[in-house]
Structure 1
C-alpha cells in the first residue's frame, strides 16, 4: 500500500504540512510519510516531544511551535511556510480537542478552545496556505463520527465536527476536477491519549461499542486516502452507515441508545483490562 502511494506521487512535490502530531495519530502519519520520502513540517505545541516520538526516514522532519488556539500563531507560521516557496503536496488537519460536558455546564473557555482547534484553525490554515498548494495537492481533514452523528454530552465537539464537514464539502466544490483534492476521514474511537483523557473526563460510553482503532491503522488509512481522489471515508464503515441513518431518522439514535450504552460498558471494561495488562 505504501509503495503504491509513493510511486503514484513521484511526480508531485513531496512536502507535507500537518497539525496534531503529538496526539498519537499524527506521529504515525508523519512516520509513514517520512518512510515514503516526504519532507514533513509538523505544527505542534510540543515540538521537542514530536521530535522524540517521530522516527527518521527518507524525508526530512521538522516540528515547529504553533498554538492553534492563537490565530496570531497560525498566521505567523503560515507566513513562514509561504516564504519558503516550497509547493505543498499534502495538507493534513489532524489536531483535535474534546471536552465532555452537558449543555448546562458549557464554559466560555471550553467552547472557545474546542471551536478554535477543531474548526476555526483548519479553516484559517487552509485559506492561508492555499497559495502554496501544488496544483494536484490533497487536503485531508481528520474528522469524527461525531461530525455525522450527534454526541450526547459533547455537544460543542459534535457541533465543531459537523461544521468541519460542511467546510470540507464546500471547499471541494471550489476546485476543478483533477486538481486539488479534498478528503475527510470520519473516525470512531481511536486508542490514543486523547481517548484515555476523554474517558477520564466522563466521555461517551458509545466510544467503546466497537474496539478502539489503533493509531497506526488509522494513519495508514489517512495516507492511503491522500494518495487518491478526494472522498469521505468512515471508519468503522458500519458506524458511518448507522450515523447517516440517524440523520435521516433522528428517533433511531434515541431508541437504540440504551442498548448501545450497555454494549459500550462491556467494551470499556475490556479496554481497561487490556490497558492494565499492557502496562504490567
Structure 2
C-alpha cells in the first residue's frame, strides 16, 4: 500500500512539514497551524530554540534537527517522515538566507549557503517527500519580490529566488488541476530579525520603499492561502505589478531606481526610529 492510498480519518489531525520555523514568519505560521489543530514537523538547525518559541496549542509539535545545506540531512529527515506512513497535507518552504554583497565580493561560502537554503534544499525536499504528500495536499514556497525584480547588491539571493519561482511553476505543471496544489508567496520586506540583519549588513534601501510587512499578518495570509487553490501571490500587490513591468522593460528599473532609493532612505530612517521606540518601551517595562 502506498501513502497515496492512505485516507486521513476525520478525527486525525492534518500533518504539516515546514522549514524556517525559528524565523519571524515561520514561527507565526507554526503557531497558527498548531492553534488550528495541525500536527507540525519543523525542520531546523535549532530545535531547542523552536521548542522555546512555539507553543503547542491544540496540535502536536516536533522540532527535528536538519541542516538544509547538507543533502544527507535532508535525505535522512525525509526518510523518517516517509516511515511515519502519514500523508503530508501541507509542505511549507519558509527558510531563507540573504547575504548582501556586490558581485566582486561573492565568496564560495556565501554562494553555497544561499543556493542550498533558498533553492537546492526546497527542490530536494519536495522531490523526496512527494511520495508522502496527500493527493489533495499543498506545497507552498515562501519566495521574495527579488524573485521577479533584480536586487542590486544581492545578485545571488535574487538568482536563487528567480530559480525557485521557475521550479514551483514547473512543478505545478506536473499535476492535474484539482489535485496537488502548488503556491508561491512573493513578499516585500517583512519586519523580522532577518530584515534587521540584512539592514546591518548593507542590504538594499529598496526594502523600505513601503512599510515592512508584519510577520503575523503574512503568516495569517499564508495559512489562509493553504486552504485555497494553488496560486502566486505578491505582497504588496503593486510590487508584483512593478516587478513584472521591469522584467518586460528593463530600462524602467534603472530609470526609477534613483527615486526609489530616495524614498527607501526616508523609509529606512522611519523604520529605525520605530524600532528604537519599541526598544525603549520594552526596557521601561
TM-score w.r.t. length of structure 2: 0.94
Q: Distance in 2 between matches of 1:48 and 1:277?
A: 30
Partner of 2:150: 150
Q: Is the 8 A contact 2:88 2:137 kept in 1?
A: yes
For residues 178 and 92 of structure 1, the distance between their equivalents in structure 2, rounded to whole angstroms, comes to: 19
- 1:13 CA drift (Å): 6.1
Q: How does 1:109-258 map to 2 (within 5 A)?
A: 109-258=109-258
List gaps (5 residues or longer) in structure 2.
1-9, 281-285
Secondary structure of the equivalent of 1:279?
helix
Listed one character per residue, the Cα deviations across residues 149-191 of structure 1 (whole Å, up to 9, x for unaligned) are 0000000000000000000000000001111000000000000
Name the SS of the counterpart of 1:138 in structure 2: strand
| CA-CA distance at 1:56 after TM superposition | 2.0
Please give the alpha-carbon distance, in whole angstroms, between the structure 2 residues aligned to 1:40 and 1:226.
Answer: 14
- Over 3 Å counting, the alpha-carbon distance change for 1:30 and 1:112 in structure 2 is same
Counterpart for residue 68 of structure 1: 68
Secondary structure at 2:97's aligned position in 1? coil
Name the CA distance, whole Å, in 2 between partners of 1:261 and 1:13.
Answer: 47
Structure 1, unpaired ranges of 5+:
1-9
Partner of 1:99: 99
Q: Summarize deviations over 1:85-138 as a string: whole Å, max 9, x none.
A: 110000000000000000111100000000000000000000000000011000
Q: Deviations over 1:196-241 (max 9, x none)?
A: 0000000000000000001000001111111100000000000000
Do the aligned partners of 1:96 and 1:118 also contact (CA within 8 Å) in 2?
yes
Matched residues in 1 for 2:114 and 2:12: separation?
Answer: 34
Deviations 1:242-263 (A, max 9, x none): 0000000000000100000000
Q: Following the alignment from structure 1 to structure 2, what is the Cα–Cα distance between the partners of residues 231 and 81?
A: 26
| 8 Å Cα contact 2:13/2:59 also seen in 1 | no
Conserved in 2, the CA contact under 8 Å of 1:13 and 1:89? Answer: no
Partners of 2:13 and 2:39 within 8 A in 1: no
- Secondary structure class of the residue paired with 2:68: coil
3-state SS of paired residue (2:77): helix
1:58, distance to aligned residue in structure 2 (A): 1.1
Normalised TM-score (structure 1):
0.95
Kindly tell me the number of residue pairs found equivalent between the two proteins: 271
Range moving further from structure 2, 47-56 or 93-102: 47-56
Q: CA RMSD in A?
A: 1.0
Is contact 1:13-1:87 (8 Å) kept? no
Task: Establish whether residue 16 from structure 1 lines up as the match of residue 16 from structure 2.
Answer: yes
